[in-house]
Amino acid sequence: MMGFHMSAAIEVRGLVKRYGEVEAVRGLDFAVARGEVFGLLGPNGAGKTTTVEILEGHRERTAGEVSVLGHDPELRERALRERVGIVLQSSGMYRHVTVREAVAHWGGFYPRPRGVDEVVELAGLTESAGVRTGRLSGGQLRRLDFALALVGDPELIFLDEPTTGFDPAARRQAWDTVRSLRDLGKTVVLTTHYLEEAQALADRVAIVKDGRILAQGPPSELGAGSSTRYRVTWRDAHGEAHDHVTDDPTALLHELTGDALARGEALEDLAVTRPSLEEVYLELTGHYEAPEARQIDA
């Protein structure tokens, strides 16, 4: 399916996780290259959090092989934890320490921490540095999660739904933080159920549903798989809109343009597009309602 490289930050083969009778993860295979932002995209309950929590060492797998920076995360070796930063989906914080104290304390856990003020600034918390965490807003607490995950200067960062509940401005700010991590050469594994987030941040995306990967690849190319096609749209001489989805746009265009030329008509607004990530996602996760105008050609 894919080549596992020596440079891979994460390699996962045949990952299975069962809780009693329930199979939350049913045989995942994927690899994350060093320096890559990898997105696990899927609806709630798809198995994204279970998967990242296995990679983080918080859960034990039922079957399969997992390698994180060359370690088995299940062994929970300190040497691995020193190189990994984690933003959990939700986690609390001591209420009676200030932001700066918390970041400084967390930095002490790591062999080569980043500067406290630098990390506080990166997280956008400079103005709240002296505030006790019990008085922070939800958004500020989430930024503190980022700061605590980054202060150890990790090579690999897990972000489990990092912007859920953010307003659009805060989300853009968090995205900038993730982009700055990529610019620093960090590897980022991100789970999200926001399509725009995966599209905006991830170099590659795996679409997960019911514990399986339905498709993976760069967001811009995800439409190119076998189940998805090109869309050709135009308006005919009567101004009526047409929308065809086809595997073979070359043949369709040849036919269309040939007919139009023969009749001496123009094809207004002729366009060939790939399905958007959103369409692919909705189609794969079974929520897609085909629009009325959509006809599936051969």
Partner 1 sequence: MHDVALTWRQYRLERRMFWRNPSAAFFNFLFPLLLLALFGAVFSGDRKALDVIVPGIAGMSIMATTFTALAWNVTFLREQGVLKRMRGTPLPAGVYLLGIGLNALTNAVLQLALVILAGRVFFGTGWPHDWAELAVFTAAGVVCFASLGVALSHAIPNFDSAGAYINAIFLPVIFISGVFYDVADAPAFIKDIAEALPLKHVIDGLSGALVTGRGLGDNWESLAVIGLWSAAGIVLAVRGFSWDGRRS
Binding piece for partner 1, criterion CB under 8 A, among 87-95, 114-122, 164-172, 243-251 = 87-95
Q: Smallest distance, Å, CB 197 to partner 1? A: 22
Contact 82, 111 (CB under 8 A): yes
Query: Burial, 222: exposed, middle or buried (Cβ in 10 Å; 0-12, 13-18, 19+)?
Result: buried
Task: Give the integer Cα–Cα distance in Å for 80 and 76.
Answer: 7
Q: Smallest distance, Å, CB 79 to partner 1? A: 8
31/84 with CB nearer partner 1: 84
Candidate residues 1, 44, 75, 92; the one interacting with partner 1 per rule CB under 8 A? 92
65-84 binders of partner 1 (CB under 8 A): 78, 81-82, 84
Residue 124's region, left for phi above 0, alpha for psi from -120 to 50, else beta, is: left
For residue 86, what are the β-bridge partners? 158
Write the binding mask 28 to 67 for partner 1: x where contact by CB under 8 A, - elsewhere. ----------------------------xxx---------
Q: Under 8 Å CB-to-CB from 155, ≥6 apart: which residues? A: 9, 34, 69, 83, 84, 186, 187
Q: Is 220 in the site for partner 1 (CB under 8 A)?
A: no
Q: Which amino acid is at 40?
A: L
50/228 with CB nearer partner 1: 50
Contact footprint for partner 1 (CB under 8 A): 56-58, 78, 81-82, 84, 86, 88, 90-94, 96-97, 101, 105-106, 108-111, 132, 148, 152
